[in-house]
Amino acid sequence: MKMKVDIWSDVRCPFCFVGKRKFEKALQQFPHAENISITWHSFQLDPTLKTQPNRDAMDFFTEAKNISLAQAEQMHEHAKKAGKEAGIDFNFEHQKVANSFRGHLLIQLAKTKNLGNEIEEALFHAQFIDAKNIDDVPTLIQIGKSVGLDENEIQDALVSDDFKYRVNEDQQMAQQLGINAVPFFVLNDKYGVSGAQQPELFLEVLQKAYEEFAKGDDGLKILSQGDHCDCNGNCH
């Protein structure tokens, strides 16, 4: 019997990448890691975002947030610092302005093949390090194939009504749980952790949840709120 960990995330969210790495570090220290089952869930921070791969990323950010370049640089510096702490070298200057919906379709396909974690890592890397367009079909095919997905299945997934439904279902589930910012971790359907917390906190919650998961306790408790991005596209 394995304990469930559900993670809501958007591959356009830098702190979701940071949170993934920090949670993985906690798992490395957790003695029952082999008994943890992780499920990634889709969460689009900005479903209406128009893909503009040739747009300057910083210019887009300042306009979207209605802030100065200095403010934007300060916000990105905070994210870069968090990234370095987690072993990530963010490439914000060259990242592509791209809607993440097709990326989430690819995630839904990967989940059916038990490759959810692998595709999340690959998409984060594509968005924040390699500065690829995660709304571009050939690019997504390349990313999907890199983790072992079949090209024909990827093409079908990117136009699949079933996977579109699954993306929307994940978002609706998040809404029902009161999740309005990501990353968000739910352990054993009981404990909720908001934001890219330190590995020590993740480890503490893992240990507590694991001790209790066989008891069938329910009810969601938000233990703490760390670095995250909310539905308004603001990263804190």
- Name the average pLDDT for the chain: 93
Q: What is the dihedral of CA 119, 124, 127, 133, to 10 degrees?
A: 10
Q: Is residue 137 in a domain?
A: yes
Number of domains in the chain: 1
Q: Is residue 236 in a domain?
A: no
What's the Cα-to-Cα distance from 148 to each of 108, 135, 139, rounded to whole Å? 14, 19, 15
Q: What is the pLDDT of residue 219?
A: 46
**What DSSP designation does 194 have?**
E
Tens-place pLDDT, residues 169-183: 999 999 999 999 999
- Sort 70 into a burial class: Cβ within 10 Å, 0-12 / 13-18 / 19+: exposed
Q: Is residue 235 in a domain?
A: no
Say how far apart CA 221 and CA 15 lie, in whole Å: 21
> What is the domain-level CATH number for residue 150?
3.40.30.10
| 222 pLDDT tier (thresholds 50, 70, 90) | low
Q: Is residue 164 in a domain?
A: yes
Please answer whether residues 187 and 205 qualify as being in contact, where contact means their C-beta atoms are separated by less than 8 angstroms: yes
Domain that holds residue 89: 3-230
| Pairing between β-strand 3-9 and β-strand 36-42 as defined by DSSP bridges | parallel
Q: Is residue 211 in a domain?
A: yes
